[in-house]
Amino acid sequence: MTWCPHLHFCYLIFAVVLICPSLSFANSEWDQFKSTYIENGRVIDKAQNGITHTEGQGMALLLAVQNDDPKTFALLWNWTQQNLQVRGDKLFAWSWSPNSGINDMNNASDGDLFIAWALSKAYKRWNEPRYLFAAIQVSQSIREKLLRKTEKGTVLLPGAIGFEKPEGLKLNLSYWVFPAITDLSNTDPSPQWEELRNTGLQLIQEARFGKWNLPPDWLNLQNNVITPIDGERFGYDAVRIPLYLIWGQLATPSTIKPFQSFWGSFSGKPVLPAWVDLNNGEAGTYNASAGFQSIAAMTLAYPNLDSIQLPSFNPSQGYYSSMLSLFTKMTLEDLKK
């Protein structure tokens, strides 16, 4: 029998798979996400007419670091810097359209936090000084432009423009990305970060409304009073609050209980609502996406997270659901370190 180098290579690969059964030729979830939603360094939100926003860019930057993917990180950061970091400060215009370019020069604070945190993590992983320099610049701009002192303490404006009104401050508690705040307090030391963290934890404890004592997606803070606004729902935004509490290692039985009570009441039922009206208790009649259900599963399992079963990753359910699924898994990975 004549020796065939191609056959020898096939035998070698077969042997490797036998020795390492965990290896797979299927794309990783990160690869699936990239092929579905990232093009030339731009994360495409297909549910919103193909726009790109800072939330998506920041989340993808974090996942690139987590997956040790410096090439994709560089593409994402270069696109973000060239197309979104176009304000007078170091914050980012939050929305970009393939048809018209920048849609809105205002920033989105959660996107800014994601990007600064990702740059800080990238420096630590790959020892690239330009990422550290950029992280500090963005972090300082967040502190200078977006933090406000109130009777409740230091709060984070969702954007630099439009959230300070005569009737009070419009706030979003899901913008308190606690693991990012902790990281940036080391990268860009300032007592403002601890003040911001403490105020966020206090507001989460106080913002309990409706039958389930849940926080709203949006709330108004006037003087010392907080009230739900903009539909008075727990849903699309506030679903991230328990994720960031657990990820930031700041969750307590008290802060997690309302979420566990709500999601636990639907265990074993065919539908896990994507939202609930905090005023009248009406819940959504359609099933929450896999990303929402991943956060719910982790929250219900807390604090015993070792053998948690998460829904299968399903990029077809949209960019936001995919991001929440990947962030939940990233949380579990980080907590094991």
In a domain, 298, yes or no: yes
Within 8 A by CB and 6+ apart from 115, the residues are 54, 57, 58, 61, 80, 92, 138
pTM above 0.95, yes or no: no
| Parent domain of 123 | 27-336
In this prediction, residues 68-72 reach a mean pLDDT of 98
The pLDDT of residue 20: 39
Total of domains in the chain: 1
DSSP string of 272-317, one letter each residue: -BS-EETTT--B-SSBPPHHHHHHHHHHHHTT--TT--PPPP-GGG
- Joined tokens for residue 156: 């984070």
- Residue 169 covered by a domain: yes
- Asked whether residue 61 is domain-assigned, the answer is yes
User: What pLDDT is recorded for position 27?
Assistant: 55
**The residue to which tokens 């099933």 are assigned:** 287
Q: Is residue 12 part of a domain?
A: no
In the block, residue with structure tokens 């077969």: 14
Query: Mean of the per-residue pLDDT values for the chain?
Result: 92
Rounded Cα distance between 192 and 205, Å, is: 20
Q: Which of 167, 157, 277 is nearest to 217 (CA)?
A: 277
Whether 31 is catalytic is: no
Q: What's the pLDDT score for residue 307?
A: 85
CATH of the domain at 31: 1.50.10.10
Q: Is the pLDDT of residue 19 over 70?
A: no
Q: Is the Cβ–Cβ distance between 180 and 233 less than 8 Å?
A: no
Q: Is 151 a catalytic residue?
A: no
Structural contact between residues 14 and 48, judged by C-beta atoms closer than 8 angstroms: no
Question: Is the per-residue pLDDT at 17 higher than 90?
Answer: no
Assigned token pair, 193: 């970060």
232 and 209 in contact (C-beta within 8 Å)?
yes
CB 91 within 8 Å of CB 107: yes
CB 27: neighbour CB atoms within 10 A? 11
Residues 6+ apart with CB under 8 A from 152: 199, 202, 203, 221, 224, 226
Among 29, 55, 112, 237, the one annotated catalytic: 55
9 located within any domain: no
pLDDT at 117 over 90: yes
Instruction: Name 288's Cβ contacts closer than 8 Å, sequence gap at least 6.
Output: 272, 273, 274, 296
Is residue 219 one of the residues assigned to a domain? Answer: yes
d(CA 264, CA 80): 39
List pLDDT tens digits, range 153-203: 999 999 999 999 999 999 999 999 999 999 999 999 999 999 999 999 999
Residue 14 lies in a domain: no
| Stretch 88-116: mean pLDDT | 97
DSSP, collapsed to helix, strand or coil, labels residue 204 as helix
Residue 6 falls inside a structural domain? no
Digit-coded pLDDT (tens) for 278-336: 999 999 999 999 999 999 999 999 999 998 999 999 999 999 999 999 999 999 999 99
| CB distance 149 to 157 below 8 Å | no
- pLDDT digit string, tens, across residues 47-66: 999 999 999 999 999 999 99
pLDDT digit string, tens, across residues 227-283? 999 999 999 999 999 999 999 999 999 999 999 999 999 999 999 999 999 999 999
Catalytic residue among 31, 39, 45, 110: 110
